[in-house]
Chains A and B, each alone.
Chain A
Amino acid sequence: MLLSVRSLSTRFEANEGELWPVNGVSFGVAGGETLGLVGETGSGKSMVALSILDLVPSPGRIVAGEIEFEGQDILLLSRAEKRRVRGGEIGMVFQDPAASLNPVYRIGDQIADVGRLHRGLGRAEAWRDAVHLLGDLGLQEPEKKARAYPFELSGGMRQRAQIAVAIAGRPKLLIADEPTTALDATVQSEVCDLLKYIQGEFGMAILLISHDLAMVTDVADRIMVMYAGRIVEIGHWTAISREPRHPYTKGLMAAIPHLGAGPDQPLGGIPGTVPDLADLPAGCSFHARCPEADEDCRAASPPLEDVGDRLCACYRVERAR
């Protein structure tokens, strides 16, 4: 495993009490693999990403667990070593390219800076690499685009530029947090193809985070579903998409509008809203919204167990013998 996360817990202390956006989460990402992390807003998925980079904002704190990247526990590294890992070994792409690109620097310089810092490239060499990357990511006239400022590019081009910044250090792992959410449908599918392309071209592992199960299914090798700080289901993408087994995953799947359903067809989905992390119900935190919940589910929180072709945390799903 390139990345192994074990029993990770991240806690926030707020006025309302303690919140656990990440609550005993364990998973691994193999080299060159794309792992999709799916959940609604407030499920804790972005906090998993920030925890991996040890960038949890105050007053949050990682209180338990290990994050092993290439055999080293990231949490035990010195500040300087962490900086080397962030952007060098692990690249990061965010939802809003307009907010994460520096508006007053040329695109090419922002990409070249990463190459100079993390790969020790010379000025000219780093610039050539930046232009090459932009061309590789499908921007026409990459030399011209490298000299452009972010505001001169469209949303889709900016997202490609942001991806170029993220991979300029040739990281082994790319974390992409909602990389398509702010984009048009056509541009979304282009960014998905781009992620598949860079995975093949650079042999990079990707942790792809999104609320959109359809998008994740389009790109990921394995899919991990999170709810209220815990993993509820994790398995190969074909298993999850053919037959989701956790009621939450089933609900997410039913909420996806498929083309060709015809007009006036209501969507399935999940009633209610994500529970307040400061006020989680007893037992399985999904039970209040779950159509299959019974007494067991209200009494105790189900552990993540092997159910044959995947891991699932649900008393209603029969475990493997």
Chain B
Amino acid sequence: MNYQPILSVRGLSKYFPTGRGWAGRTGQLEALAGVDLDLHPGEVLGIVGESGSGKTTLGRCVLRLIEPSSGEVELEGSDFLALRGRDLRRRRKRLGVVFQDPYSSLNPRMQIGRIVAEPLRAHGIVPGPEISERVSELLELVGIEPHFATRYPHEMSGGQRQRVAIARALATDPELLVADEPVSALDVSVQAQILNLLLDLKREKRLAMLFISHDLAVVERIADRIAVMYRGTIVESAPTASLIRRPLHPYTQALLFAVPSVDPALRRKRVRLRDDLGPPGHAVHSCPVAGRCPIVQDVCHTEVPQLEEEAPGHRVACHLARDQTG
């Protein structure tokens, strides 16, 4: 058993400058506010949150598709943020990425085979003559018949395109896959197929994954651990079963209740988040969820709750979670 995390993130923050206002004043939006996480080999970490929670920014900072403002990202114990140029490219081939929208993430003018071959060529992984053989293997791995290699993306369905995007991500045999809402743009029936494919890859290839989604029911299927994000911070993180059965944070509870159920007995009124978002960005002296929390207390407006361990592996940032359990 390897105890060294494959990915280790500490205090990761990202600020975006906001529009230039009157007299050239600029502001900052804190999209990511000091996130810590560890991902071990073969482990799938689910990152759950709504739009604007910073989950996509987190994925992109880890890949250095955008540069974080501060914090550390270590890949297998070595500093990933310090790498430049060729070293960065060489390291990056160990990372795969799948985006939400298979309609915009595949070049419409390239045949499927070329799309999957591109990372092989770019990183010189396979000698030229063997490329087409490797492409066939990859397509078969994701459930696409190799003769589709000569087709163009527009000739394929959304699910098939997402399979192609996964094949491309796996071409370099990565150790870590960042999947950002990989099934959200798909029909429920196709979503199930793609999720099952990712589950197979998790089992067979022992692939570590950062699985980003707004849908807890989807994440539960594949993740070993889940981190819930809100406004750039992790508010709760726990092993999957623990988080689903005993969510401690009111925000996580609301996310759980948002999942519709087809069981007639469960068609019911749900726990609601309040609408009061307050100003965007991370408030300095209050809990980020305070404006929407159904059980908010005075302390929530004066003190930022820290992420603390409440049960083995179950960490939560809430002043009131303790009271509930204690």
A257, B190: Cβ atoms closer than 8 Å: no
Which residues does chain A contribute within 8 Å of B188, judged by CB atoms? 211-214, 252, 255-256
Does A57 count as interface, using CB distance less than 8 angstroms? Answer: no
Segment from B111-119, B122-130, B254-262 that makes contact with A: B254-262
Give the contacts of A2-52 with B (CB-CB under 8 A): 40-41
Segment from A84-92, A264-272, A280-288 that makes contact with B: A264-272
Which residues does chain A contribute within 8 Å of B258, judged by CB atoms? 185-186, 188-189
Closest to B158 in A: A41
A260, B245: Cβ atoms closer than 8 Å: yes
Known: A214-B262, A215-B260, A263-B222. A187 touches B50 (CB 8 A): yes
Interface bin, chain B: 35 or more
Known: A259-B244, A262-B241. A185 touches B157 (CB 8 A): no
Produce 1/0 per residue, B261-283, CB < 8 A to A. 11110010010110111000000
B50, A266: Cβ atoms closer than 8 Å: no
**Distance, CA A256 to CA B218, complexed state (A):** 9
**Distance, CA A274 to CA B214, complexed state (A):** 26
Which residues does chain B contribute within 8 Å of A265, judged by CB atoms? 221
Segment from B20-28, B88-96, B131-139, B191-199 that makes contact with A: B191-199
Known: A264-B199, A266-B196, A267-B192. A257 touches B221 (CB 8 A): yes
Which residues does chain B contribute within 8 Å of A40, judged by CB atoms? 187, 189-190
**Distance, CA A269 to CA B258, complexed state (A):** 22
Does B321 count as interface, using CB distance less than 8 angstroms? Answer: no
Rounded to whole Å, the gap between the CB of A274 and the closest CB of chain B is 7
Does B302 count as interface, using CB distance less than 8 angstroms? Answer: no
Does B51 count as interface, using CB distance less than 8 angstroms? Answer: yes
Which residues does chain B contribute within 8 Å of A259, judged by CB atoms? 216-217, 220, 244, 256, 259, 261
**Distance, CA A187 to CA B191, complexed state (A):** 20
Rounded to whole Å, the gap between the CB of A278 and the closest CB of chain B is 13
Rounded to whole Å, the gap between the CB of B294 and the closest CB of chain A is 13
Does A102 count as interface, using CB distance less than 8 angstroms? Answer: no
B220, A263: Cβ atoms closer than 8 Å: yes
**Chain B interface, >50% SS class:** helix
User: Which of A212, A218, A274 has the most chain B CB atoms closer than 10 A to its own CB?
Assistant: A218
**Distance, CA A139 to CA B202, complexed state (A):** 43
A213, B222: Cβ atoms closer than 8 Å: no
Interface residue from A217, A238, A255, A266 paired with B260 (Cβ < 8 Å) = A217
B260, A192: Cβ atoms closer than 8 Å: yes
A218, B51: Cβ atoms closer than 8 Å: no
Does A203 count as interface, using CB distance less than 8 angstroms? Answer: no
B199, A266: Cβ atoms closer than 8 Å: yes
Give the contacts of B214-266 with A (CB-CB under 8 A): 214-218, 220-224, 240-241, 244-245, 254-264
A273, B157: Cβ atoms closer than 8 Å: yes
**Distance, CA A49 to CA B65, complexed state (A):** 41
Does B159 count as interface, using CB distance less than 8 angstroms? Answer: yes
Interface residue from A140, A215, A269 paired with B189 (Cβ < 8 Å) = A269
Does A120 count as interface, using CB distance less than 8 angstroms? Answer: no
Interface residue from A188, A211, A261 paired with B221 (Cβ < 8 Å) = A261
Known: A259-B244, A265-B221. A184 touches B50 (CB 8 A): yes
Closest to B193 in A: A269
Which residues does chain A contribute within 8 Å of B159, judged by CB atoms? 273
**15 contacts across the A-B interface (CB closer than 8 A):** A40-B190, A140-B275, A155-B51, A186-B255, A189-B258, A212-B260, A214-B260, A256-B217, A257-B191, A257-B192, A258-B262, A259-B259, A263-B220, A263-B222, A268-B192
Which 3 residue pairs are nearest across A and B when measured between Cβ atoms?
A269-B192, A255-B192, A267-B192
A residues near B (Cβ < 8 Å) are 40-41, 138-140, 154-155, 184-190, 192-193, 211-215, 217-218, 237-238, 241-242, 251-271, 273-274
